[in-house]
Amino acid sequence: MSALNRLWPETRVLRWLCAVALVLAGAVLTQSAFVASAQESADVLDQTADVVEETAGGGVRTDLTPEEAQAFLERVLPEEVEERELVGAAAAILKGDEVIASYGAGLADKANGVAVDPATTRFRLGSISKTIVAAAIMQLVEQGKLDLDADINTYLDFDATPGSDETVTTHHLLTHTAGYSDVYKLLFLADDAHYLPLEDYVREHVPDVIFEPGTITAYSNYGIALAGYLVEKQSGMPFEDYVEQNIFLPLGMERTSMRQPLTDAAENGDVIGYRTNGSVGPFEFIGAGPAGSISATVLDYARFLAMISNRGELDGARVLSEASVNEMITLSPLDPSGRNGGNGFGLTWFVSEDLPGVRHMTHGGDTVLFHSFAKYFEAGDYGLIVSQNTEHSSLGPEVASQFEALIDLPKAQVLPEQADAAEDQRVAGAYFGARFSGHGILKLSKLLRAGQTIEADPEGGIIVNGRAKFKRVGPLTYQDPENPDRMFTFLTDENGKILRTTGGQQPYPFFERPSVFYPIAGATALLMLIGVLGGVVALFRVRKPGVGSAKPWLGAGAMGLFVLAGVGTIASQLIGMGEDIFTLNPSRDGMLRLGQGLLVFGFVAGALAIWQSAKRWKTEGFGMVSKILLPVVLLGGVSALLLALQWNFLALSLKY
């Protein structure tokens, strides 16, 4: 779970620009319907497969010695810790089911000068927890207590797909294809004041199903939390107890726990995370517990990777069948993406199969204070786990990249360019990613967080988000020549209309496009300000005889004032959530309701202004300026109402 880019663009300037856009609020007109066929073009998928070629050259080296691996960690880890100004980090490397190197750099406890020890220092591994959930689910499948392809509602005593006739399965949950809207509320908590038991969390925070299950990969913490609850329901044991007794203890992961707070800190060590300024942060409570609550040493998690390498068994203890492990780490047929021609999800693992013979599995894990990265290379049978205790950017991907060079992991080829300027223009436009909160007051995250721009490059190909240049390498298929494993295809319906990319990005509906939304929102805000100014003038004229437009302008002024105040109040809360992600909790509900109340008052005032205008339109004191300007201002009020409805600013539920 990435904490730093969870809600808003990362820079403070962009966050305040988002605030301005919110204060400019209100949308306009009704949204154009975006109806696209769910059918994917088999021809396009075949074309994608055609451009994924086997890399030339040799394979992964298999003769890496423990001495080389240890020297690698002792060189790379201190360099990265110093460069990123981290307090501490640790890493471990496996060959087969044996740890051949481990190292700790920096401090685990600054106050007491305790150095990081890969065997004893515990880190919060964040979303790497999801791999534990998948293992627990597969154990229950082996026992006949769960069917991966059965409707999850058959196991639950509440509706996990409210308002939807779609069938969601456990397989959907583990491959992030359930179609759930993202859930932000209670994502990270600084204490247990708002922390809920797992059963309460999954019952009270059920998101909407916004995509047809199995058609879009939409990463979902809620979905994995629900899978953890299925473990609890079908095993008859609390989730934390189950994984301790059936995974951690058999594998000798003695310093690993998914409890919040830790109950074994006295004997197995506490978990200390640090802010960027070096101060100690709080113990992070993860609302969607099973999706990110694990605390472990890197050597403990290395034992889990060793079990994966050994296909379910370690030191004589078998926790999974070979078939179950293979299913976990194989690209799922349910994954609709086929990203980069062969990358996508297995059962919680991100699987890369784009290069024959060099399949590897990855999972990152991010809280606010900790960042971790785990990888298993089937070719060469290597494993790597890296974790840090500071909220700076994760060092894991960089360490992994250097390790891949050490073991000569083949890279994807840069494919020959097949230039087509017309096709570059055809795919250009504004797209949104599948991961956003579409069911509550944070629907605006679809615009602010999930947005992506694609424009045609005059030099050929396309430019993504104004930076990355991709070249056309096949029909509707583009590759980044600087990072050749980054490749995607645009999928179309039977009429050639672009539905989405293989990465899940979809074209915005017309009125949600940034290029449409921002000008309309700006014009709406300007009209609200004009309404306020007109209302102020009307205050001094309302008692004068013969001024028939005074009362309508008073209504318009009240409308503008309340609408701007309401949007500003809501915006301040949303910005506050972005500034302090620990406040994604009910403590903000009161101010959000206040903002909604102000909006309602504004729209009621606007309705009264319309009534007063109609009543006094033909009076002698209703001047020509008012007859021209007042209807335009009131139309702005209608625009504000439509946008508030479209972006869920008036949502009855404060789930988000």
The answer to whether residue 655 is domain-embedded is no
Find, among 559, 644, 548, 550, the residue nearest to 607 by Cα: 559
Question: Do 344 and 422 have their domain in common?
Answer: no
The answer to whether residue 652 is domain-embedded is no
Question: Do 531 and 640 have their domain in common?
Answer: yes
Question: Do 504 and 517 have their domain in common?
Answer: no
Domain boundary among 373, 406, 439: 406
Q: Which residue has the tokens 């004032």?
A: 561
Q: Which amino acid is at 151?
A: D
Q: Is the pTM of this model over 0.85?
A: yes
Domain boundary among 491, 508, 525: 508
Question: Do 465 and 529 have their domain in common?
Answer: no
Count helices and strands in the chain by DSSP H and E runs? 18, 22
Cα 312 from chain centre = 30
How many domains, the chain? Answer: 3
The answer to whether residue 477 is domain-embedded is yes
CATH number at residue 305: 3.40.710.10
Q: State whether residue 8 is helix, strand or coil.
A: coil
The answer to whether residue 111 is domain-embedded is yes
Query: Backbone phi, then psi, for 344, in 5-degree steps?
Result: 175, -160
In the chain, how long is the greatest CA-to-CA distance? 97
Q: What is the pLDDT of residues 393-429, one digit of tens each?
A: 899 999 999 999 999 988 878 999 999 999 999 999 9
Q: Which residue has the tokens 């949600």?
A: 512
Q: What is the pLDDT of residues 50-109, one digit of tens each?
A: 333 333 334 789 999 999 999 999 999 999 999 999 999 999 999 999 999 999 999 999
Average pLDDT score over residue span 199-220: 93
Question: Do 318 and 184 have their domain in common?
Answer: yes
Domain boundary among 460, 481, 508: 508
Query: What pLDDT, on a 0 to 100 scale, did the predictor assign at position 264?
Result: 84
Q: Could you confirm whether 181 is annotated as catalytic?
A: no
Question: Do 171 and 279 have their domain in common?
Answer: yes
Dist. CA 190–CA 259, nearest whole Å: 15
The answer to whether residue 6 is domain-embedded is no
Question: Do 271 and 165 have their domain in common?
Answer: yes
* Token pair for 387: 């974790």
**Helical (H) or strand (E) element with 306:** helix 298-309
Lowest pLDDT segment from 136-140, 177-181, 408-412, 461-465: 408-412
Highest mean pLDDT among 204-213, 351-360, 409-418: 204-213
Rg from Cα positions in the chain:
27
Strand locations in 406-493, DSSP E?
Answer: 429-432, 451-456, 462-464, 468-474, 477-480, 483-492
Question: Do 17 and 104 have their domain in common?
Answer: no
The answer to whether residue 2 is domain-embedded is no
Which class for 485: exposed (0-12), middle (13-18), buried (19 or more C-beta within 10 A)? middle
Which DSSP category does 247 fall into? I
Dist. CA 123–CA 369, nearest whole Å: 10
Question: Do 322 and 447 have their domain in common?
Answer: no
The answer to whether residue 337 is domain-embedded is yes
Question: Do 26 and 48 have their domain in common?
Answer: no
C-alpha distances out from residue 289 to 132, 184, 189, Å: 12, 13, 11
Query: What pLDDT, on a 0 to 100 scale, did the predictor assign at position 622?
Result: 74
Question: Do 163 and 20 have their domain in common?
Answer: no
Residue 32, pLDDT > 50, answer no
Query: What pLDDT, on a 0 to 100 scale, did the predictor assign at position 270?
Result: 86
Which class for 467: exposed (0-12), middle (13-18), buried (19 or more C-beta within 10 A)? exposed
Question: Do 85 and 164 have their domain in common?
Answer: yes
* Token pair for 641: 């109402």
The answer to whether residue 432 is domain-embedded is yes
Catalytic residue among 127, 332, 337, 437: 127
Residue 448's domain comprises 42-53+414-508
Lowest pLDDT segment from 214-228, 327-341, 461-475, 563-577: 327-341
